[in-house]
Amino acid sequence: MKLAVGWKEVAALAVVLSFALAPMGWAFDAGIHKEIVREALPFVKAEYLDVIAEASDDPDKGLWEAPWHFDNCYFIQGLNEINKKYDEIKPLVAPQVVLANARKVAELFGHLLHPAQDLYAHSNWVETMAAMGYRHALFDRGIARKWKLEGKWSWHPPGVIIAQGKVVPDGWEVALDKTTGLVTVIPKGGPAVYAIISGLWKEEIFEDECCAVTRMWHKELHKDKPGRPFYKEARELAIRQTVHEWCRLESLVFLWYGAEGLKKLRETFIASGQKSPCGEFCTLRIRAQDTAMNELKGVRMRVAVGDGWDNIAVTPSWPLVVQLDQQVWVQAPPELKDKGLVFVEWKLAERKPVGEDYFILWWLSRSPRNEWIFKVEKCDLELIAVYGPPPEEKPVETVPPPPGEEPPPGELPPPPGE
């Protein structure tokens, strides 16, 4: 029996053999991923830090597909691989099982760190952020959510286009400067902005999603080893993204399993005498009322929690995860005024778990407004939007404490953010 082998099969076999017989030359050099993990996560217990560090190198030993290294303009695919690992982690970090699953969680977390770090070595993100004056900007800095991308040729914080897709949208202009690695895009009818690409790796074997104008080879763009342009900056951002991924994991656990889940995760993984770099996570719930205290349902609020994305919260909202000392921006829809509802004020209400539920109201304003930026200075807050005719100016009345609890001396502290 004869075996028919074409040139593509021979080429593919040659590439596989080259991977097996030679050091990897298409990712951060051997050992650098492990170095980054150890430098970024020194607060993790040694037994689990070893597992995370070793697992972060695994994709260079057998996962040659471009998405695992953010090559070939595979941004959506690379992001999906990271998010799949978070999906696999979710059932393993429930409070009652996290200790038993700790080594597996560490392995999965190490795997997702590899593409998160390679993004900076294999794309033009570093060069682009330097040109824009955002040298320390991370590709994704989400809290209590997985990695996010709107799609091909889409806008991405802090104001760039993700140039994924062989076909440029109609009416758009695209230009590449190979000397600087910068890509400029002029969307139809819009101003010029920079675009993000990644290098081509083994095009004859692996498909790519780079358009013809933006094609750069991996060897032209990579920052995998010392001496390469922007290597130091790429490595520093990879370290910062690694720290942030730990904070993302903590915030997701807080979202999935609450304060008890986060406590168990930290008890399992944080070394004695060390503490998490992520600070305190809080919940923020958004409600809307009319002046008769009737709950208004289905009011769509725009909320930004500092990660570059606007989110839609529909009242009454599920608790949003934010961080203490973080700025939050909330905007009520202007069309409510067109329906005869006049926006009056926002209140921050602190729930006091003493006796029956009651609230202390931290007034953000008593003048009509539909947009707020404030600093989270207390956890477990409700943001209450009140709609109706503007109130008459009068002193703010505070809510008295329940029987048996002494009122605070003097006046209440100033409201958060003021």
Residue pLDDT tens, the chain, 418 long: 434 444 444 344 344 333 333 334 456 666 899 999 999 999 999 999 999 999 998 776 765 677 788 899 999 999 999 999 999 999 999 999 999 999 999 999 999 999 999 999 999 999 999 999 999 999 999 999 999 999 999 999 999 999 999 999 999 999 999 999 999 999 998 899 999 999 998 655 568 999 999 999 999 999 999 999 999 999 999 999 999 999 999 999 999 999 999 999 999 999 999 999 999 999 999 998 888 889 999 999 999 998 999 999 999 999 899 999 999 999 988 777 666 667 666 778 776 554 455 556 777 776 677 888 888 888 888 888 888 775 555 555 555 555 554 444 444 444 444 4
Residues 246 and 335 in one domain: no
Residues 290 and 259 in one domain: no
Residues 315 and 221 in one domain: no
Which residues form the domain of 86?
24-269
In the block, residue with structure tokens 């719930």: 285
Residue 135 lies in a domain: yes
Residues 124 and 242 in one domain: yes
Residue 418 lies in a domain: no
Residues 321, 301: Cα–Cα separation, whole Å: 16
Residues 220 and 297 in one domain: no
Residues 219 and 332 in one domain: no
Residue where one domain finishes, among candidates 269, 293, 326: 269
Residues 300 and 263 in one domain: no
* Total structural domains within the chain: 2
Residues 67 and 175 in one domain: yes
Residue 289 lies in a domain: yes
pLDDT at 203: 58
Residues 136, 113: Cα–Cα separation, whole Å: 18
Nearest C-alpha neighbor of 125 from the set 234, 241, 240: 234
Backbone dihedral angles phi then psi of residue 277, each to the nearest 5 degrees:
-80, 5
Residue 369 lies in a domain: yes
Residue where one domain finishes, among candidates 214, 239, 269: 269
pLDDT at 293: 86
Residues 240 and 298 in one domain: no
Pair of tokens at residue 48:
């689990």
pLDDT at 229: 95
pLDDT at 390: 57
Residue 107 lies in a domain: yes
Residue 1 lies in a domain: no
Residues 172, 130: Cα–Cα separation, whole Å: 24
Residue 414 lies in a domain: no
Residues 236 and 90 in one domain: yes
Residue 400 lies in a domain: no
Residue where one domain finishes, among candidates 269, 303, 338: 269
Q: Could you give the strand order of the β-sheet that contains 173-177, starting from the edge strand earlier in sequence?
A: 154-156, 160-162, 193-196, 182-186, 173-177
Residues 264 and 314 in one domain: no
Residues 89 and 190 in one domain: yes
Instruction: Write the DSSP assignment of 295-318 as a string of letters.
Output: BPPS-EEEEE-SSS-EEEEESSPP
CATH of the domain at 379: 2.60.40
